Structure 1
Amino acid sequence: MMWTAIAINYIDRTVLSAAAPYITEEFNLTAGQMGIIMSGFFWSYALLQLPSGYAADKYGQKKTLGIAVVWWSLATAVTGLATGFKSLLGLRVALGVGEAAAYPSNAGISSKWFPDKERATVAGIFDSGSKFGGAVAMPLIVWLISLYDWKWTFVIIGSLGIVWGIIWLFFFKDNPEDHKLVNEAELKYIRDGQEKKEGTDKVMPMKWYQLLKHRNIWAMCIGFFMINYNSYFFITWLPTYLVQERGMNLIEMGIIASLPLLTAMVVEVIAGWTSDKIYSKGLLSLTATRKLFLIIGLLMAACIGFAAFAESAVLAVVLLCIAKSGTTVAASQVWALPSEVAPKNMTSMVAGMQNTVSNMGGVVGPIVTGFIVGATGSFVPALLFSAALIVIGILNYAFFLGKVKPIEA
């Protein structure tokens, strides 16, 4: 259900992109107005990461995530009733309000429901939902629009999350101790495998801003910013790059653009599982395991720079698949870190803080890429700049990130 929530999350945020040509024509919107509407999601999404993380830790992930998914699904469904620029912008902001709670809540659930040795596997699984959602969203939505129209498409897609929310609120419990399907053996397996027993109380040992005194929090935020700057290229500028720079037609682009996401989805789960096996067997310490996979992932992500110089389109696509897969190898560790570094009962808060900064990379990345391409007439400098930021990310995780252990109040 954690995986499905993230998949729905990404499908819902993609509907507007697919329907944009129809919406623009019906409401006579300018390209600038549509750009503002699309960016409205990130205003609320980035700004509400911290409050969402606080709510999840304070009131529980059951209420926070359940209400959030229903909220953003209603915002998606109601978009079909929009009447113009203002209502579309307002509903896009409302979508971001709900979706802000997804990742912080999932990080908190991981810390309560799984032993330490399974954290990266769980992180890899639930985050892989974003790649699945991003890959299937466009063909699914275009197909629905062709069958019905863009308004009914929003209603149909929105209903998915409402059904999910109803099941979640009936099925999920914040703590494994409270779930009737958890027997003593499973509970012992979970709790005996946790260094800190989260959820047994809801006392937060420090204020959220006190987290900023700790070096590992800064390292996590800086590193994830560099990763997300790179990642957002694949869901914003990649289609344009394939058409303009590599000469593909729209049908070829539609197929090829999904390949990096689908490849990355599989690689992320494998990376999370492998890193957990290495740690649980005692081959490496937790810190060495996390750093090793973060650095391997970012070295793979740096292939985006080599793609700029690839002579053939096939080689460029292969390198882009490696680069995107590298960001997900790193992401499997990134989403395990909050539960391993956060003080007791503050995992969702730390995840929200990390995701706030990372989404600034998502906000500025497409803008900077656009300016570089506009100024130079080529994607080569833009891809090289993205690779340079990945190098900074490698140095950050190698030298600035300290020992991976819970922060003590």
Structure 2
Amino acid sequence: MAIPKQVDPNQGTKKTFKWGARHTVLVFIWLGWFLSFLDRMVITLSLPFIGKEFNIDAAAQGLILSAFFAGYALFQIPGGMLADKLGFRRMLSVGIIWWSAFTTLTGAVFSYPLLLLVRFAFGLGEAVLPGSSYKTLTTYFPSKERGTAIGIQSTANSIGNIFASITAAAIIVVLGWRAVFLVLGIPGVLLGVYYWVKFKDNPADHPQMTPEDLAELQADREEEQKQLLADNKSELSFKDIFKTPILWQMIAIWFLADIAIWGFSSWMPSYLMNVRGLSVMKTGIYGSLPFLFGAIGILLGGRAADRYRDKIKWLFVGAAALGGVFIYLLFVAPSTEMTIFYQCLANGLMCFSQGVFWTMVSDSFPASLMGSGSAAVNFGGQVAGLVAPAAMGFMIKASGGSYNAAFLLLVVSLVAAAVLALTIKKRSIA
């Protein structure tokens, strides 16, 4: 990112909050993530109806979920590299328009193999979002505010899930599952056009950017360069980050954590309908509550990460381990009410750990490689998204419809992520 040299970094820092370019950018990045989760998660509530129409069992339904993650994982790192090379503006615009088209096509296919292909292509489009958006936030926000910014951005994940549950339930009851997908592609196309017209890869080109904000960003980049020189490094390359242990630790941690996150969100609606006996409308309403807790958890996680930077690893460890405990309690709960209660606590803690984790990631790579670095870490999570839904589907089928073994997989994965996080000794490679 080019910051004009003539800007004096000593011009001062704002003492009170004032809306600026970075806040506008954050709002529209949030909307992109909101639509991405709305588009990808409505299928979880639609899955039982898709299963009936296509006459497929739980294992085949799990493959529908995993087809998305196959495309999402495959293009994760290339998408991040392209964001670093071509700019996040182009990648965000093309990505959201692409995935919106395949969202609509999901509701138009009548063949199971073609449905798998459409969901795979849908995943390819969404794959550019993580690297591009984290690069955007790292470009526009100084390091001291990134945890909070990432926490706010990440609330879109949970709020998108809330709207996915309620929207899908309401439309399915009235118009059927296909209508859900046919209408959801329109907002994404409009947002993609906005990104193309309004977003700027260089903050200096943004019409809302002030000299004071530019000075703050410049000072932040200069500090980053000083740290590189202190470590006897020139500008890090893409190859360099793959030689650092912390990258591989974070990939492994996020793989394990996302086994739980994606397995949990993918199969809970079916569990509530098939095991706890809830109707589709009640599943949509009650199933949205854990994601409200998740939105709060992510916000608190980002804030806590900014405030307790020296204890950031322990924040993740504690939240992930406790999340595993509550996942165990939810499937052994004696009543549906207790299941929903434990589900809320589990999701709140998993999302808290997510807000903390991505602050750790944002601190671990220089801004010039944030697209590639964050995409590499997120790739581990998307491999988990590919594995978890399909594995759980096969486990449910093999156990005659019981979800116990499948949920135990999530518990073990979260606890393992917490244990592995204990091995992190150096927070940053930048």
* CA distance in 1 between partners of 2:120 and 2:297 (Å): 32
How far does residue 346 in structure 1 lie from its aligned partner after superposition?
Answer: 1.0
* CA distance in 1 between partners of 2:48 and 2:405 (Å): 29
How far does residue 133 in structure 1 lie from its aligned partner after superposition?
Answer: 1.3
* CA distance in 1 between partners of 2:341 and 2:135 (Å): 35
Does residue 298 (structure 1) correspond to residue 328 (structure 2)? The answer is no
Secondary structure class of the residue paired with 2:368: coil
Q: 1:138 to 1:391 in 2, by over 3 A?
A: closer
How far does residue 71 in structure 1 lie from its aligned partner after superposition?
Answer: 1.1
Equivalent residue for 1:99? 126
Q: 1:76 to 1:353 in 2, by over 3 A?
A: same
* CA distance in 2 between partners of 1:233 and 1:78 (Å): 25
How far does residue 18 in structure 1 lie from its aligned partner after superposition?
Answer: 4.7
Does residue 337 (structure 1) correspond to residue 344 (structure 2)? The answer is no
Give CA-to-partner distance per residue, 1:27-66, whole Å, 9 cap, x none: x564476654443212111111000000001111111111
Give CA-to-partner distance per residue, 1:166-202, whole Å, 9 cap, x none: 11222211121121211111222333345437xxxxx
Does residue 349 (structure 1) correspond to residue 372 (structure 2)? The answer is yes
Equivalent residue for 2:170? 143
When normalised by structure 2's length, the TM-score is 0.82
When normalised by structure 1's length, the TM-score is 0.86
Q: Is the 8 A contact 1:12 1:76 kept in 2?
A: yes
Equivalent residue for 1:229? 259
Does residue 196 (structure 1) correspond to residue 257 (structure 2)? The answer is no
Equivalent residue for 1:166? 193
Q: 1:306 to 1:154 in 2, by over 3 A?
A: closer
* CA distance in 1 between partners of 2:178 and 2:397 (Å): 34
Q: 1:79 to 1:375 in 2, by over 3 A?
A: closer
Equivalent residue for 1:369? 392
Q: 1:368 to 1:154 in 2, by over 3 A?
A: closer
Equivalent residue for 2:417? 393
How far does residue 334 in structure 1 lie from its aligned partner after superposition?
Answer: 2.1
Q: 1:274 to 1:17 in 2, by over 3 A?
A: closer
Q: Is the 8 A contact 2:203 2:214 kept in 1?
A: yes
Give CA-to-partner distance per residue, 1:138-183, whole Å, 9 cap, x none: 3313434555565554342101001111112222111211212111
Q: 1:392 to 1:207 in 2, by over 3 A?
A: same
Q: Is the 8 A contact 1:80 1:155 kept in 2?
A: yes
* CA distance in 2 between partners of 1:14 and 1:110 (Å): 24
Aligned CA-pair RMSD: 2.7
Q: Matches of residues 51-66 of structure 1 in structure 2 within 5 Å?
A: 51-66=78-93
Q: Is the 8 A contact 1:298 1:327 kept in 2?
A: yes
* CA distance in 1 between partners of 2:147 and 2:120 (Å): 31
Q: Is the 8 A contact 1:123 1:333 kept in 2?
A: no
Secondary structure class of the residue paired with 2:121: helix
- From 263, 271, 291, the counterpart of 1:261: 291
Give CA-to-partner distance per residue, 1:102-130, whole Å, 9 cap, x none: 11111111211111111121111112211
Q: 1:159 to 1:339 in 2, by over 3 A?
A: same
- From 379, 391, 395, the counterpart of 2:403: 379
Q: Is the 8 A contact 1:29 1:85 kept in 2?
A: no
Letter in 2 for 1:313: T
Q: Matches of residues 16-165 of structure 1 in structure 2 within 5 Å?
A: 16-19=43-46, 30-31=56-57, 36-82=63-109, 84-145=111-172, 153-165=180-192
Equivalent residue for 1:282? none
Among all aligned residue pairs of Structure 1 and Structure 2, give the percentage whose two residues are the same amino acid.
27
How far does residue 69 in structure 1 lie from its aligned partner after superposition?
Answer: 0.6
Could you tell me which runs of 5 or more consecutive residues in structure 2 were left unpaired when the two chains were aligned. Answer: 1-27, 226-233
Equivalent residue for 1:239? 269
Secondary structure class of the residue paired with 1:346: helix
Q: 1:188 to 1:289 in 2, by over 3 A?
A: farther
- Compare 50-59 and 291-300 and name the one that shifted more: 291-300
Equivalent residue for 1:316? 339
- Compare 34-43 and 350-359 and name the one that shifted more: 34-43
Secondary structure class of the residue paired with 1:229: helix
Equivalent residue for 1:214? 244
* CA distance in 2 between partners of 1:17 and 1:384 (Å): 20
Q: Is the 8 A contact 1:204 1:346 kept in 2?
A: no
Letter in 2 for 1:345: S
Paired residues, number:
391
Equivalent residue for 2:236? 205
Q: Is the 8 A contact 1:221 1:357 kept in 2?
A: yes
Give CA-to-partner distance per residue, 1:335-393, whole Å, 9 cap, x none: 22333112451111111111111122222223333444445564344433422222221
Does residue 358 (structure 1) correspond to residue 381 (structure 2)? The answer is yes
Secondary structure class of the residue paired with 2:429: coil
Q: 1:55 to 1:155 in 2, by over 3 A?
A: same
Q: 1:25 to 1:223 in 2, by over 3 A?
A: closer
- Compare 108-117 and 255-264 and name the one that shifted more: 255-264
Equivalent residue for 2:348? 325
Could you tell me which runs of 5 or more consecutive residues in structure 1 were left unpaired when the two chains were aligned. Answer: 198-202, 280-285
Q: Is the 8 A contact 2:65 2:389 kept in 1?
A: no
Q: 1:217 to 1:63 in 2, by over 3 A?
A: same
Q: Is the 8 A contact 2:44 2:269 kept in 1?
A: no
Secondary structure class of the residue paired with 2:242: helix
Equivalent residue for 1:200? none
Q: 1:156 to 1:370 in 2, by over 3 A?
A: closer
